[in-house]
Structure 1
Amino acid sequence: MAKEPRWTQTWISGTRAAGVELGYPGERLGLPKEGSGSVAGFGRRIGALTIDWLICTWAIGRGILGADPRSAGWVGLAIFALEYILLVGTLGSTFGMKLLGIRVAALGGGRPAFGLVLLRTLLLCLAVPALIWDRDQRGLHDRAARTIVVRD
């Protein structure tokens, strides 16, 4: 006799355990499964964020501006926000994103509008919206700005 799965095994494993196939991330947005233009994975995104944070906090905040260690976090956050607004708004990617081969794209293609970059950056700096993702690996900050992070 086959053993019934425990009730926790059906919801902890997500919808796929219940037999629902949702497709790959970005499929419903018309993006390719792999390669250029596909949804950037979590590893690349967190790597780029870490690189940008270190550049803004340590290299610029503490190194160049000489920020006090107690205020270096706030100074770094301000520099981080400025970096995102300027670089994503003009080039579509930050230093960390460029190093790891990803960029921010508008859902319709191309770079997002400057006002949407401002909104996305503000929500990213609040952190919580960026931690809540949908099945296309878009955080609330991406959904609000109608953007997605894709591979170059």
Structure 2
Amino acid sequence: MAGARTLDDVRRVIGSWLDGPKSAFNHAREQAAEARPDWRGEKLGLPKDGPGSAAPPGKRLLAFVVDILLAALITAAFTAPEFPGDWSLLTWFLITVIPVSFFGFTPGMAMMRIWVARIDGAGMVGPLRAVLRCGLTLLVIPAVMWNFDGRSWHDRASKTIVIRR
């Protein structure tokens, strides 16, 4: 029958966890043998380097740290001498979501000369995508798990990528 799956097809998809560690290791080895792009963003049609290329992880991390410190300083200015606590999280959320929604970058990203762009080429990231990216960043794991294209889980979920200016 055309389109019918064999036991081997099913096992290839779900067998890695059913068959135990040896099968899981073989499945991981098969995935590692897949053709990898020569540079981050190649599959998306981005240039290898320069403006419009995928932003390097170091610049992204530094931009994030700048945004966190800026949020802490802004919050401390309003809550001093008390410890800002959770208020700095709210401040970080605001200085992340609002500028990314409309301009595509946070203050830290502007300093690092990187910005968030939609994969579909639309001009604005928009509030829904910005809130999704920010919310997933709070969970940490989606922001630090990357694929070969230089996109983290929160970028893939929001259909965005961080690129150089």
TM-score (norm 1): 0.80
- The alpha carbon displacement at 1:68 in A equals 3.0
Deviations 1:31-70 (A, max 9, x none): 111111100001110110011100001x11112332733x
1:65 paired with 2:65, answer no
Contact 2:36 2:148 (C-alpha < 8 Å) held by counterparts? no
Indicate the residue corresponding to 2:19 in structure 1.
none
Indicate the residue corresponding to 1:4 in structure 2.
none
Identity of aligned residues (%): 36
Indicate the residue corresponding to 1:127 in structure 2.
140
1:38 paired with 2:38, answer no
- The alpha carbon displacement at 1:21 in A equals 4.3
Contact 1:31 1:38 (C-alpha < 8 Å) held by counterparts? yes
Instruction: Point out the more displaced range, 139-148 or 72-81.
Output: 72-81
Distance 1:78 1:42 in 2: 25
Max radius of gyration: which structure? 2
Indicate the residue corresponding to 1:48 in structure 2.
63
Q: What 5-or-longer segments of structure 2 have no aligned partner?
A: 1-27
Indicate the residue corresponding to 1:89 in structure 2.
101
- The alpha carbon displacement at 1:23 in A equals 1.8
Runs of 4+ in structure 1 off by over 4 angstroms are: 18-21
Instruction: Point out the more displaced range, 117-126 or 46-55.
Output: 117-126
Give, as a single letter, the amino acid of the residue that structure 1 aligns with 2:116. V
Quick one: structure 1 residues 73 and 44, their matched pair in 2 at CA, closer, same or farther if it must change by over 3 Å? farther
TM-score (norm 2): 0.75
Q: What 5-or-longer segments of structure 1 have no aligned partner?
A: 1-10
Of 29, 44, 50, which residue of structure 2 is paired with 1:29? 44
Quick one: structure 1 residues 36 and 54, their matched pair in 2 at CA, closer, same or farther if it must change by over 3 Å? same
- The alpha carbon displacement at 1:82 in A equals 1.0
CA RMSD, aligned part only? 2.0
Paired residues in the alignment total 135
